[in-house]
Structures are given as structure tokens and as C-alpha cells.
A and B are shown apart, each in its own frame.
Chain A
Amino acid sequence: SAVISQKPSRDICQRGTSLTIQCQVDSQVTMMFWYRQQPGQSLTLIATANQGSEATYESGFVIDKFPISRPNLTFSTLTVSNMSPEDSSIYLCSVGSQGNQNIQYFGAGTRLSVL
């Protein structure tokens, strides 16, 4: 499985600001995913990020609020824009395993608190 590093691991932000979360993988992967886990809840897919194309967003998530970059096969960023307390969550990136894309491996997540 790939080694996935997320930065920052946690942050406390003020309402109205933006935070960019980085996801670095130790090998080249085609598919990267971003999830949100609200407090005490399950994971919800925000978007799928393929290198060289626009991210595909799930229902309820929009690019203006969660812009995503995927500049190469080992890196992606998710920005949480114009934050409100409702954005307080854990944000996790994952990658599809090479040769077996149905298995996803996850980073440690970014714990975001918005005041």
C-alpha cells in the first residue's frame, strides 16, 4: 500500500478564512479522493481528483467552496474556502491502489476546527 502524508494534521481557523490541505503520496497514483468526516459521523466523498483533468464533485459539494488541485501523480490539495463553524470536520485524502482501484488507502486526516 502507498504511504500517504497529509498536512496540516490539525488546524484552528477563523470564520471567513480559507485553509489548503496537502496530500502527498510516495508513489504515482491515478485516482485520489477527498473525504469529509463530520464529528461523530461517517465519511462522505467530496470529490475525485484525477491528474490532468478537473476534479469530479459529489452532490452537495461545489468547486467554489472546495477547490482541488492535482498537479501531478503524487500530490493533491483541497482548499476549504470561506470557512464557517459547520466546516469543522476531519478531511481525509485517499488513493486508489494501483492495479486494484476499488481499494482505497487513506491518509491520517486533517482535523479542522473553525471558530
Chain B
Amino acid sequence: AQKVTQAQTEISVVEKEDVTLDCVYETRDTTYYLFWYKQPPSGELVFLIRRNSFDEQNEISGRYSWNFQKSTSSFNFTITASQVVDSAVYFCGGSGAGSYQLTFGKGTKLSVIP
């Protein structure tokens, strides 16, 4: 069974600040996938990234970057120069290789204050 822990329930930052959202993933699988989704106030879940467990290279997409550390089972998400539109609930999730079942963390609510 997988377990995803997002220790930060809520974070507030002032616009243009950088913010890091933490995620720890526990599994007995040797191969697995990790995900981040964004849920804005409108409710839909927006896919942000998928990362394989055997690929520890950091990934950057615009103001977003992800740091995967297999040794600590962490898959942290950093938003650089935050904007008000980044305000949302962010979910980290994981699944075993070949499995369709996504296990989500409890989510981190990010509020970016103008």
C-alpha cells in the first residue's frame, strides 16, 4: 500500500515570494510514479507533472520546479515568484508501476496574497 504525506495543510505567501510544497511518498514498490495536481477554486484537478521513481533529475517548467529525492522519498514542488493565480489546493500523489490507482495526499492549500 502507498502512503502520501503532505505535512503542510495551508501556506500563505505574498506575491512574488518563492514557496515550496512538501510531499513524502511511502511504498514498498521499487518502481512507482509520483504526481502533482493543482485544484483551483473552480474544482477541477489540473495535471502538473508525473515523475518516474528511477529518474531523479530535477524538472523545471517555467516558474515551477520539482525536486525528487529517492533517498528521503520526497517529491517537493517549488513555485518561483508566486502569483495570485497560483492560489489553489495542490495534491501530491503516487501509483505503483502498472497500477491505475492513484493515492493522493491530503493536499496543501496555497494562498498567494497580492
Contact = CB atoms under 8 A, between A and B. Distances in A.
Interface residues of A, dominant DSSP: strand
Interface stretch (A20-28, A61-69, A71-79, A106-114): A106-114
Contacts of A41: 106
A22 B91 CA distance: 24
A103 B105 contact: no
Contact of A42 (B35, B91, B100): B91
A39 to B, nearest CB: 12
Contacts of B100: 31, 33, 48, 96, 101-102, 104
B47 A42 contact: no
A41 to B, nearest CB: 7
Contacts of B106: 41-42
A103 B106 CA distance: 19
Contact of B105 (A42, A48, A92): A42
Contact of A108 (B43, B99, B102, B104): B43
B107 A102 contact: no
Interface in B69-93: 91
B95 A102 contact: yes
Interface of B: 33, 35, 37, 42-47, 50, 91, 95, 97, 99-102, 104-107
